[in-house]
Amino acid sequence: MRIVLLGAPGAGKGTQAKMLIEKYQIPQISTGDILRKAVADGTPLGKEAKVIMDKGELVPDKIVLGLVDERVKQDDCKKGFILDGFPRNTVQAEALDKLLNDIKMPLDSALSVDVPRDDLMKRLTGRRTCKSCQQMYNVYYSPPKKEGACDKCGGELFQRDDDKEETIKKRLDVYDAQTAPLIDYYNKKGIVKSVLGKGSIDEIFKQVCNILEGK
């Protein structure tokens, strides 16, 4: 199963990806996570990326393409993978097609998780992550029992620098202008499947699995 997850920031792609990994035992490739790790590790790439990420803009295609190229060629991707947050524009989508055709592993599905914009704002501004175990919370929808602390491990919760209101607006605008057109791009290839990303996470996941399995 080789899938691209499409959907605006905050649509719940990461959450669904984590559940898909468990169920289908295939890796998630999140370019956002890879970049955030490079930022946390303080690598030259991370330093370059942080400035761009904090503004809510896209990191240059060449950088993310290099990261994805390297990642999909690793052994654990032979049985499939879930691309989350990549591709973000047509240049990346075309490069991905070429890369996957070259290694004879074309995409099966482009799954679009659709959520109205008002909901996205609340989801993103309310998002908090545990510094220790990466467990996610939302101060509006799924707050931790004790403010600022992780229910699971007691770790400190933080807000991503790019989840501040101004940056979020910018990220959503970038999504509308550059990433949303990819739904059309994959539609032309006949591989788009859509799910409404509202309601309980488990219910959405059930629909996602049914759609992917062609039920």
The two structure tokens encoding residue 161: 């620098």
Is residue 53 at the binding interface for ligand AMP, with CB under 6 A as the rule? yes
Spatial distance between the Cα atoms of 150 and 133, rounded to a whole number of angstroms: 9
Q: Which of the residues 36, 71, 88, 128 is marked catalytic? A: 88
Look up tokens 């199963």; give the residue: 1
| Phi, psi dihedrals of residue 49, rounded to the nearest 5° | -70, -35
Residue 71 annotated among the catalytic residues of the structure: no
Window of 31-39, 110-118, 181-189, 193-201 that interacts with ligand AMP by CB under 6 A: 31-39
Residue 88 annotated among the catalytic residues of the structure: yes
Judged by CB, which is closer to ligand AMP: 36, or 190? Answer: 36
The two structure tokens encoding residue 54: 């904090």
> For residue 21, how many other CB atoms are within 10 A of its CB?
15
- CB of 202 vs ligand AMP, minimal distance in Å: 23
Spatial distance between the Cα atoms of 1 and 13, rounded to a whole number of angstroms: 16
Judged by CB, which is closer to ligand AMP: 92, or 207? Answer: 92
Spatial distance between the Cα atoms of 44 and 41, rounded to a whole number of angstroms: 9
Question: Among residues 81, 86, 137, 186, which is the contact residue for ligand AMP, using CB under 6 A?
Answer: 86
Q: Which of the residues 2, 160, 164, 198 is marked catalytic? A: 160
Spatial distance between the Cα atoms of 172 and 177, rounded to a whole number of angstroms: 9
Judged by CB, which is closer to ligand AMP: 26, or 168? Answer: 168
Residue 13 annotated among the catalytic residues of the structure: yes
Is residue 9 at the binding interface for ligand AMP, with CB under 6 A as the rule? yes
- CB of 84 vs ligand AMP, minimal distance in Å: 7
Site residues for ligand AMP, 107-146, by CB under 6 A, read none
Q: Per-residue b/e over 186-203, b at no fewer than 16 CB within 10 Å?
A: beeeeebbbbebeeeeee
User: Coil, strand, or helix at residue 65?
Assistant: helix
Question: Among residues 6, 19, 35, 95, which is the contact residue for ligand AMP, using CB under 6 A?
Answer: 35
Cα–Cα nearest to 174, from 59, 39, 97: 59
Question: Among residues 50, 71, 88, 128, which is the contact residue for ligand AMP, using CB under 6 A?
Answer: 88
Catalytic residue numbers?
13, 88, 127, 160, 171
* Interface ranges with ligand AMP (CB under 6 A): 9, 31-32, 35, 52-53, 56-59, 64, 85-86, 88, 92, 162, 171
